[in-house]
Amino acid sequence: MTVTQNTFIRAELLSFAKPPGAQDRPAAGSVEHFEDGLLWLREGLIHAVGRFSELSSELPAGVDIIDHSDKLIMPGFIDSHVHYVQLDIMASYGRQLLDWLNEYTFPEECRFQSAEHAEVLSQAFLNEMLRAGTTTAQVFGSSHAISMDAFFGACQTRGLRMLGGKVMMDRNAPEALLDGTTGIQDTERLIADWHGRERLGYSVTPRFAPTSTKAQMDAAGALLRSDPTLWLQTHLAENRGELAWVAELFPDSQDYLAVYERAGLVGPKSTFAHGVHLNESMRERLAAQGANIAFCPSSNLFLGSGLFDRDAADRAGMAFTYASDIGAGTDLTGFATLKSAYQVGQLNNQPLTAWQGFYGLTHGNAKTLSLDQKIGQLKPGLEADFVVVDPNATELLSRRIRRCSTLGERLFALMMLADDRAIFETWANGECQHSRDGLL
Ligand code: GUN
Ligand code: ZN
């Protein structure tokens, strides 16, 4: 064994083998937990995971073991819906969706016609994601192809697993953002250059029905049919004003979802952000077609969009993922997304356990995005993307954690109290890519 190819980390380890269910106690066999564990990495992959006392006996004498015994390692967090181009307009005051798009979002996205700006923002965004413990995201660019060249290029240099696409929009937005017929050509070119390259995947990205003509959505559907390995991302039923607008623009459509169905955009690799205002029929059709809703709780609270109904989703068998939706979302960390999801749940009388939350943020999101053969668990053969959480990051967190007597209580305290200070390190592709204390 060449010791240099290997990395060994001693820490508490937590991962989910399957959904924990909605009960206070997780379903049998769902949680894999080693209070004193050893994570063994080899060439960017997880080689072995186990109890320290057992696994360490297999190691040659004298190997270096990184000692994170007072930290908790979980799989890297996954964000199923986020706009990297909106990083600089987070927390723009006080509007609902359509005004917010016109006043803040569209002017901001115009700036991405500059390759230099796109490169600076790509780096800034990835720095923030890694600082927040997020190792994979499904990302919207602007309508400029160079926004995604810059983004994918930056991800490639860092060896990150990321999905993303350039926004397609050919109406109802400032002229400078409309992509007309070049939208589909640019998308095809980006797919050829980036899809399947190293750890990158392409998501075809019509922004939402109001800003794409039927012709553009049909062309996006044709692209998807031509290559089932592609992903699809867009928005659906976020806000009541948006719903009324879609009904006006597509008077012959049975409902909002039918606009996307007719274009062939709904399938097992499709993510529809929000889905706050769905009816039973739409949920059942999404479930039948295997598509998922990206639940974006901090964004839905910020824009006053409404409360996503998790129980109705579960009853219909409709999958959903957890997402920040930056720039309408207010926080990048998975902890904050779960905290908002918990608060939305409380207002709906649908409590969210920490088991459900952290399963969702890791294995759940990976599975629903068809990435579970690569990421989402601490499991031999998967890629070595994980977070090292410091439960003593702040005095308050430390005091609260000391009062907990079970893992479930500790996870809940993290979900409600932790922020980016609790992300001690973020590892991706087998390398430490962020260190809170700057000691890389
Ligand atoms: N719907 C269409 N575009 C957007 C966007 O950029 N953000 C949000 N939250 N909703 C949208
Ligand atoms: Zn969005």
pLDDT in tens, 158-211: 999 999 999 999 999 999 999 998 999 999 999 999 999 999 999 999 999 999
Residues of the chain with pLDDT under 50: 1-3
Provide the H-helix boundaries in 197-353. Answer: 214-226, 240-249, 256-263, 280-289, 297-302, 310-316, 334-347
Q: 255 C-alpha vs ligand 2 centroid, how far in Å?
A: 20
Name the domain count of the chain. 2
Q: Are residues 155 and 205 in the same domain?
A: yes
Whether 283 and 255 have beta carbons less than 8 Å apart is answered as no
Query: Which residues are registered as beta bridge partners of 162?
Result: 200
Q: What are phi and psi of 28, to 5 degrees?
A: -55, 135
Length of the chain: 440
Q: 32 C-alpha vs ligand 1 centroid, how far in Å?
A: 37
User: Is 350 within a domain?
Assistant: no
Residue 4 has what pLDDT?
A: 53
User: Is 368 within a domain?
Assistant: no
Pocket test for ligand 1, best of 80, 82, 83, 205 (most atoms within 8 A of CB): 83
The single residue listed with the structure tokens 């990835």 is 126
Closest listed ligand to the CA of 82:
2
Residue 60 has what pLDDT?
A: 83
Closest listed ligand to the CA of 109:
1
Whether 121 and 334 have beta carbons less than 8 Å apart is answered as no
Return the amino acid letter for 266: V
Query: Which residues are registered as beta bridge partners of 383?
Result: 45
CA-nearest residue, atom 1 of ligand 1: 235
Q: Are residues 46 and 148 in the same domain?
A: no
Closest listed ligand to the CA of 243:
1
> Among candidates 386, 388, 390, 399, which has minimal Cα distance to 421?
390
User: Is 362 within a domain?
Assistant: no
Q: Are residues 28 and 102 in the same domain?
A: no
Final residue of a structural domain among 299, 332, 365: 332
DSSP string for residues in 140-177: E--SSHHHHHHHHHHHHHHT--EEEE-EE--SSS-GGG
Q: Are residues 222 and 318 in the same domain?
A: yes
Question: Domain holding 389: CATH number?
Answer: 2.30.40.10
Residue 95 has what pLDDT?
A: 84
The single residue listed with the structure tokens 């980036």 is 194
**What is the rounded distance in angstroms from the CA atom of residue 429 to the CA atom of residue 361?**
18
The single residue listed with the structure tokens 């005095």 is 395
Residue 1 has what pLDDT?
A: 44
Closest listed ligand to the CA of 302:
1
CA angle 387, 361, 356 (to 5 degrees): 120
> Among candidates 259, 332, 249, 266, which has minimal Cα distance to 298?
332
- Which residues lie below 8 Å from residue 197, measured CB to CB, with a gap of 6+? 152, 156
Q: 266 C-alpha vs ligand 2 centroid, how far in Å?
A: 17
> What are the start-end ranges of the E strands in 346-438?
386-389, 423-428, 431-435
Question: Which atom number of ligand 1 is nearest to the Cα of residue 303?
Answer: 9
Residue ranges near ligand 2 (ion) with Cβ within 5 Å: 273, 325
Q: Are residues 48 and 102 in the same domain?
A: no
CA-nearest residue, atom 7 of ligand 1: 328
Classify 319 as helix, strand or coil: strand
> Among candidates 195, 116, 205, which has minimal Cα distance to 155?
195
State the average pLDDT for the chain.
Answer: 97
Whether 391 and 74 have beta carbons less than 8 Å apart is answered as no
CA-nearest residue, atom 11 of ligand 1: 235
Beta pairing class for 66-75 and 77-83: unpaired
Q: Are residues 111 and 159 in the same domain?
A: yes
Q: What one-character DSSP code corresponds to residue 380? A: T
Q: Is the pTM of this model over 0.95?
A: yes
> Among candidates 434, 362, 438, which has minimal Cα distance to 131?
434
Q: Are residues 253 and 391 in the same domain?
A: no
Return the amino acid letter for 404: C
Report pLDDT digits (tens) over 126-146: 999 999 999 999 999 999 999
Q: 68 C-alpha vs ligand 1 centroid, how far in Å?
A: 40
Classify 116 as helix, strand or coil: helix
CA-nearest residue, atom 3 of ligand 1: 207
Q: 397 C-alpha vs ligand 2 centroid, how far in Å?
A: 31
Q: Are residues 281 and 313 in the same domain?
A: yes
Question: Which atom number of ligand 1 is nearest to the Cα of residue 299?
Answer: 9
User: Is 345 within a domain?
Assistant: no
Provide the H-helix boundaries in 324-406. Answer: 334-347, 354-359, 365-368, 395-402
**What is the rounded distance in angstroms from the CA atom of residue 84 to the CA atom of residue 169?**
17
Q: 166 C-alpha vs ligand 2 centroid, how far in Å?
A: 13
Work out the percent of the chain whose per-residue pLDDT is above 70.
99
Q: Are residues 36 and 94 in the same domain?
A: no
Question: How many angstroms separate the first and last alpha carbons of the chain?
Answer: 25
Please give, one letter per residue, the 3-state secondary structure of 173-197: CCHHHCCCCHHHHHHHHHHHHHCCC
Pocket test for ligand 1, best of 207, 300, 326 (most atoms within 8 A of CB): 207
Ligand 1 pocket, residues with Cβ under 6 angstroms? 83, 97, 101, 105, 207-208, 235, 238, 299, 325, 328
Tokens (6 digits) for 176: 């400078």
The boundaries of the domain holding residue 400 are 6-76+377-435
Closest listed ligand to the CA of 323:
2
Q: Are residues 185 and 295 in the same domain?
A: yes
Question: Which atom number of ligand 1 is nearest to the Cα of residue 211?
Answer: 2
Q: Are residues 261 and 398 in the same domain?
A: no
Q: 215 C-alpha vs ligand 1 centroid, how far in Å?
A: 21
Residue 2 has what pLDDT?
A: 44
Q: 270 C-alpha vs ligand 2 centroid, how far in Å?
A: 14
Q: 263 C-alpha vs ligand 2 centroid, how far in Å?
A: 20
> Among candidates 50, 17, 19, which has minimal Cα distance to 35?
50
Final residue of a structural domain among 332, 351, 366: 332
Q: Are residues 64 and 103 in the same domain?
A: no
> Among candidates 13, 38, 46, 17, which has minimal Cα distance to 29?
17
Residue 191 has what pLDDT?
A: 98
Question: Which atom number of ligand 1 is nearest to the Cα of residue 273?
Answer: 10
